[in-house]
Chain A
Amino acid sequence: MRTLVFIPAWNEAASVAAVIAGVRERLPEADVLVVDDGSTDATAARAREAGATVASLPFNQGLGAALQTGYLYALRERYDFCAHLDADGQHPPSDVAGLLEEVYADRADLVIGSRYRDRGAAESDDYRPTLSRRIGTSVFRFFLTLATRQRFTDTTSGMRAANRRVMALFSQHYSPDFAEIESLQLAVRQGLRVEEVPVRMLERAGGASFLTPLRSAFFIFKGMIVLLVGQFRPRRREPVEPVPLRKARAGQ
């Protein structure tokens, strides 16, 4: 059984090495891939030094394309399971192991690390989101729950674990603009078992968040259009077939 942990990184030279080290320490069995999304700083070099394989996109393509690259790599290189987390150091690598446990045990096809699902007041104090982020979170939470009829608390989480069914789906269909939300909706509509697991969120180790209030508003608006359009995509009725390792390459 082989596991790939991939880390999408765009100009995260300051924090990527620590994240890789954390993953390698916590998950010594897993291979680590950094998807360098056209970074202009030393992200790729730092990642190689830290012992990760690096897939460098020749120019910045956005988070969705970077994540899809990771899923594509996991599928093509015949990993049984994969997980990803952010390169900015906000996700504790120890929580990735918890996510992977769920897919190892086949309790879910896709596991989302949720910052908002309660796991005790003491630990939830770690992470204080800004107002615009809180508004966006609740709007998306409401509409995604409405669209999927499944309770989601953290729709934009960048920490996930998945099996080969999800790799096969996401390597083919993954919105480059609105990866997080649309992928959840798509996975549920495709009959995959999606589950949330509470995780902690640490303060940023380096870099800056890209969200300003105006961008957040645009982000929310775009997200709602994406969700609306997603509701008109075909829904799978028959049970999902497992994706065998051997057919992976032919499944283009």
Chain B
Amino acid sequence: MSALLAATQDPKVHLTSQTRIIAALIALAFMVLILELIRRDRLQERYSVVWFVAGLGMLAGAAFPGLLGTVADLMGVRNTNVALFSIILLLLLGLALNFSVIMSRQAAQITRLAQERALEKAREQAADGDVPGFRPRSGRSTTGTSGEEGGASRAGRDET
């Protein structure tokens, strides 16, 4: 706590109370926006945590401007601006990478979903036998398949 107080009196960071109030208001507005997005189902809770942390960080910066000086000292950076920007840059980089990972996973899921649907349609078509000249499959391959996924379409094929 004493370190925090010392940081508050750090001469390196000067903010007028007006600036601090504006910064705090922006941080609060940001967090309200996040809440509103969740409420309207535009943002899922699991992806909102990081944004709330960001909002709290902004609020903390507004409330204790000296905090940044402490962090800069801990990083061994003389210029607090450099410290601020490098922290933000690294966080955003990590976040963007995280999104790419999520996007890749979802792309794979979408592909598999599309494939499953295509296979289902093809199976239906093969079972209906509406293909001119389509040969029904030999009975040998359908033995021992009961009770498995796709059993219905298989049974339908046997009738044709």
Binding site for B on A (CB under 8 A): 2, 24, 31, 33, 35-36, 48-49, 51-59, 61, 65, 68-69, 72-73, 76-78, 176, 245-246, 249
Contacts and interface: CB of A to CB of B under 8 A. Distances in A.
A24 B134 CA distance: 11
Interface string B113-134: 0110111011101100001111
A35 B118 contact: yes
Given A2-B138, A176-B111, A33 B122 contact: yes
Nearest to B141: A78
B159 interface: no
B131 A59 contact: no
B114 A73 contact: no
A199 to B, nearest CB: 27
B150 interface: yes
Given A51-B134, A53-B134, A249 B150 contact: yes
5 contacts: A48-B125, A53-B125, A56-B121, A56-B122, A246-B144
Given A48-B131, A58-B114, A65-B114, A2 B122 contact: no
A69 B118 contact: yes
A55 B121 contact: yes
Contacts of A49: 132
A176 B121 CA distance: 21
A77 B121 CA distance: 13
B101 to A, nearest CB: 15
A55 B119 contact: yes
B132 A51 contact: yes
A76 to B, nearest CB: 7
B148 interface: yes
Nearest to A177: B107
B141 A65 contact: no
B150 to A, nearest CB: 7
Which of B107, B122, B133, B138 has the most chain A CB atoms closer than 10 A to its own CB?
Answer: B122
B150 A61 contact: no
A58 B117 contact: yes
Interface string B134-149: 1101100100110011
Given A48-B131, A65-B111, A249-B148, A55 B137 contact: no
Contact of A57 (B107, B108, B114, B126): B114
A59 B119 contact: no
B126 A53 contact: yes
Contacts of B131: 48, 51-53
Contact of B118 (A51, A58, A246): A58
Contact of B125 (A54, A69, A77, A78): A54
Interface in B65-123: 107-108, 111, 114-115, 117-119, 121-123
Nearest to B107: A176
Contacts of B144: 246
B122 A61 contact: no
A64 to B, nearest CB: 9
Nearest to B149: A249
A53 B121 CA distance: 9
Contacts of B145: 78
B126 A65 contact: no
A11 to B, nearest CB: 16
Nearest to A62: B111
B122 A54 contact: yes
